[in-house]
Structure 1
Amino acid sequence: MDKTLIVTNDFPPRPGGIQSFVHSMALRLDPGQVVVYASTWRDGTEVARFDAEQPFPVVRDRTKMLLPTPRVTRRAAELLREHGCTSVWFGAAAPLGLMAPALRKAGARRLVGTTHGHEAGWARLPASRALLRRIGEGTDTLTYLGEYTRSRIAPALTAQAAARMVQLPPGVDEKTFHPGSGGAVVRARLGLADRPVVVCVSRLVPRKGQDTLILAMPRILREFPDAALLIVGDGPYRGELEKLAEHTGVMSAVRFTGAVPWSELPAHHGAGDVFAMPCRTRRGGLDVEGLGIVYLEASATGLPVVAGDSGGAPDAVLDGETGWVVRGGSPGQAADRIRTLLRDPELRARMGRRGRLWVEESWRWDLLAERLKGLL
C-alpha cells in the first residue's frame, strides 16, 4: 500500500467502537507506512503514554474535536507532505472527508473514507445529505459496514460514488474471543456457576435494548427460575435500568458489572449461555445500530445470539444459523427465543459452532485489513 495518513477524530485512548475499529486496522498495516493525525483527549499524560506505545507516529491536534476547518485542513496537508504520504484514510468519512479535495491538491493520490452508523443519519437530512454527497465526490472510495448502511448512504451519493463503495466492517480477533476465554471464572466470581445465564455486553443506552431484556425476565424466570441476566458495561442509562429491574421485580436475577476492562470482555462473553442485545431504532430512524460487532464477538466465543432488528444489526447474524433476529423493543419475542435456546443445549452448541466458523471465514481482522490495504 502507499504511505498513508490516517485522519481521524476517533482514536484511543478515547473509548468507543469507531476508535477501536480505526486503531485495530492501523495496527495491522505496515507501521512504516502509517502516520496518524488525530484529536487529543482529556488527559494529556494518558494520551502521550498511549501514543509512545504505538508502532507508528501519532500527531495530535490541540483540539478535542477534529473538524474539517481551514486550520485543520492545512495541518493535514502539511503532514501529508512532511511524511511523504500519498494516500489518506479518513477514520470517519463524515465530516472529515470534506477535506478530500484539499488533500488531493496537496499530493494525495488515493483517498478512502470509512462510513459507520452516523452517516446513515446524515443521509436522511437535506443539509447533511448534501455534505455527504460532496464527501462521496471528493474521495475515491467510501466504505460501508453492511447492507443496511450501504442502502441508506448510497442514495445520497452520485451514481458514480455509490458504485465505488466497498464493504469494510470492523473485524473480530478470533484468537482473543474464543470458546475457552475464561467464562467459567467470571461465572464463579459472580456466583452464577450453576445458573442459566443470558449475557449482554454493551454500553448502557436506550437503543441497545437492555430494558427489553429486563422486561423479558419474568417470562424467562417462569420456566427457568434460577436464570440470571448479566449486563456488562456502563453508561448513562444504568440508573433507569436498575429502577426498571426493581419495579419489574427481577433485581435479584440481574447482575450489573459496570465498566469492564477490554482484556476481560472475552471472558464476560463466555460467562453466558446465550448472548442477547435486542437493539431498537429510535428518534425517527436517526438513532440506529450501525452493525453490532458484539454479536460477532459472542459468535467467536461460541455463543448463540439474539439480536434486535435495528439498522445493520441483522448483518451480524445469520438468522436461524448463528442465532435469531427479533423485533427491537419486544420483550415477548426476546423471551421466546431465549427460552428456546436455554432449554436446548444441542441447539446452543450448534449455533455457537456455526457462528465461530462464520467469524473465522469472513470477519477476521487480517482479512479485512488486507481489503483496506488494497483500497490504499
Structure 2
Amino acid sequence: MDKTLIVTNDFPPRPGGIQAFLHSMALRLDPSQVVVYASTWKRGTSASEAALATAAFDAEQPFPVVRDRTTMLLPTPRVTRRAAALLREHGCRSVWFGAAAPLGLMAPALRRAGAERLVATTHGHEAGWAQLPGARRLLRRIGEGTDTLTYLGEYTRSRIAGALTPEAAARMVQLPPGVDEKTFHPASGGAAIRAELGLSDRPVIVCVSRLVRRKGQDTLIEAMPRVLEAVPDAVLLVVGGGPYRADLEKLAAERGLTDSVRFTGPVPWDQLPAHFGAGDVFAMPCRTRRGGLDVEGLGIVYLEASATGLPVVAGDSGGAPDAVLDGETGWVVRGGCPSEAADRVVSLLRDSSLRARMGERGRHWVESRWRWDLLAEKLRGLL
C-alpha cells in the first residue's frame, strides 16, 4: 500500500469502539507506511495524568502518532493545514479518515497537498447525518471529495448511499470492524470470572457494552422477572460503565432484582474476553432512538460473543442484525421488547444443545468472515 496518513479524532487511549477499530486496523498495516494524526485525550482524568498516559501509549506504537492540541479533531482551517503539512513531511500519498463525518471535509485540501487516494470510513452516526438536510449536504460533499467511503453493513450503506451522488454511492465498499479470534475464544477464562463473582452454579446472561439507553440493558432488566419464572437461579451480568448505570441499578432495585442483576463496572480491555466467557448466553437488545439519529451501527460485541462460543440475542436497531445469522448464531428481537428478549433467553438457557450448536456456528462464522487479517487486507487494497 502507499504510505498513509490516518486522520482521526478517535484513537486510543481514548476508549470506544471506533478507537479500537482504527487501532486494530493500524496495527495490521505495515508500520513503516503509517502515520497517525489524532486528537489529545483528556476526559475523565487530570490533564497531566492524561498526557502521561497518552505519551506512554504513543511510545509503544510501531508507527509515529502525532497529537493535535485539541481534544476534538474537527476539519478547521488550522487542523487542515496541519494535516496537509504532515502529509508532505512524511511523504504520504494516501489518507484514511477514521470517521468520514466530519473529517472527510478535508479531502479536497489534502488532495491538493498531494494525496492520491482518500478513503473515509463511516460508522453509525453518518447514517443519522443522512437524515438531516444540512448534514446530508455535507455528507454528499464528503462522498464527492473522497475516492471511497466504507460502510459497516447493509443498514448503514442504504442510509448513507441515499445522501450521496450515484457515482459516490457506487464507490462504497464494506469495511466493518473485525474480531481477534485468538483473543475471543471459548477458553478465554470465563470459569474464573464466574467463580470470582460467585456465579459458578448459576445460568448467566451476559451483556458487555457501554451503559447507555440505546444498548437495551434496561430491557434485559425488565425481562428478568419472566426469565426467573422459567429459570429461577438465572443471573444477568452487566459488564461495562457509562452514564446510564445509576438508572439501571435503580431499576433493578425497584424490580427486586438485586441478587439477579450484577454490575461489574468498567472492565480493562484484556479482561473482556473472560467476561464474555462468563456467560451462557449473550444478550443486548439494542433499540433505535431519537427518530433514527441514535442507532446501532453494527454491534461488534455480538461477533465477539460468537467468537467466544456464545449464542446471542440482539436488538433490531440499525446494523445490529448484520452481526447475527438469525436462527443460526442467535436471534434478533425487537429492541425495547422485554417479552421477546425473555422468551429467546429462556429458550437458550433451557437447551444446552441449542446453545452449543449456535455457539459453534457463530465461532465458525467469525473465523471465516470477520477476522481482522481478512479485513486489514481489504483496507490495504483500498489504500
Aligned equivalent of 1:6: 6
Aligned equivalent of 2:321: 314
Paired residue secondary structure (2:13): coil
1:276 to 277, 283, 290: 283
The 2-side partners of 1:312 and 1:254 are apart by 27
Aligned: 1:347 with 2:324: no
Q: Where in structure 2 are the equivalents of 1:1-376 lying within 5 Å?
A: 1-42=1-42, 43-376=50-383
The 1-side partners of 2:120 and 2:230 are apart by 49
The 2-side partners of 1:69 and 1:282 are apart by 30
Q: Deviations over 1:150-209 (max 9, x none)?
A: 010000000000000000000000000000000000000000001100000000001000
The 1-side partners of 2:258 and 2:219 are apart by 14
The 2-side partners of 1:188 and 1:365 are apart by 31
Paired residue secondary structure (1:156): coil
1:148 maps to a residue whose letter is Y
Q: Deviations over 1:330-367 (max 9, x none)?
A: 00000000000011000000000000000000000000
Paired residue secondary structure (1:124): coil
Q: Deviations over 1:230-267 (max 9, x none)?
A: 00001110110011001111121111000000000000
The 1-side partners of 2:248 and 2:150 are apart by 35
1:228 offset after TM fit, Å? 0.4
User: What is the TM-score when the length of structure 1 is the normalising length?
Assistant: 1.00
Q: Deviations over 1:271-328 (max 9, x none)?
A: 0000000000001110000000000000000000000000000000000000000000
The 2-side partners of 1:89 and 1:235 are apart by 29
The 2-side partners of 1:348 and 1:46 are apart by 41
Q: CA RMSD in A?
A: 0.4
The 1-side partners of 2:351 and 2:195 are apart by 23
The 2-side partners of 1:182 and 1:230 are apart by 15
Aligned equivalent of 2:45: none
2:376 maps to a residue whose letter is A
1:44 offset after TM fit, Å? 1.0
Q: Which runs of 5+ in 1 are unaligned?
A: none
The 2-side partners of 1:350 and 1:252 are apart by 30
Paired residue secondary structure (1:361): helix
Aligned equivalent of 2:46: none
Paired residue secondary structure (2:310): coil
User: What is the TM-score when the length of structure 2 is the normalising length?
Assistant: 0.98
The 1-side partners of 2:87 and 2:100 are apart by 18
Q: Deviations over 1:120-140 (max 9, x none)?
A: 000000000000000000000
The 1-side partners of 2:210 and 2:79 are apart by 31
1:275 maps to a residue whose letter is F
The 2-side partners of 1:37 and 1:336 are apart by 47
The 2-side partners of 1:303 and 1:74 are apart by 48
2:70 maps to a residue whose letter is T
List structure 1 runs of 4+ shifted beyond 2 angstroms.
none
Q: Deviations over 1:208-232 (max 9, x none)?
A: 0000000000001011111000000
Paired residue secondary structure (2:162): helix
The 1-side partners of 2:332 and 2:318 are apart by 12
Q: Deviations over 1:101-128 (max 9, x none)?
A: 0000100000000000000000000000
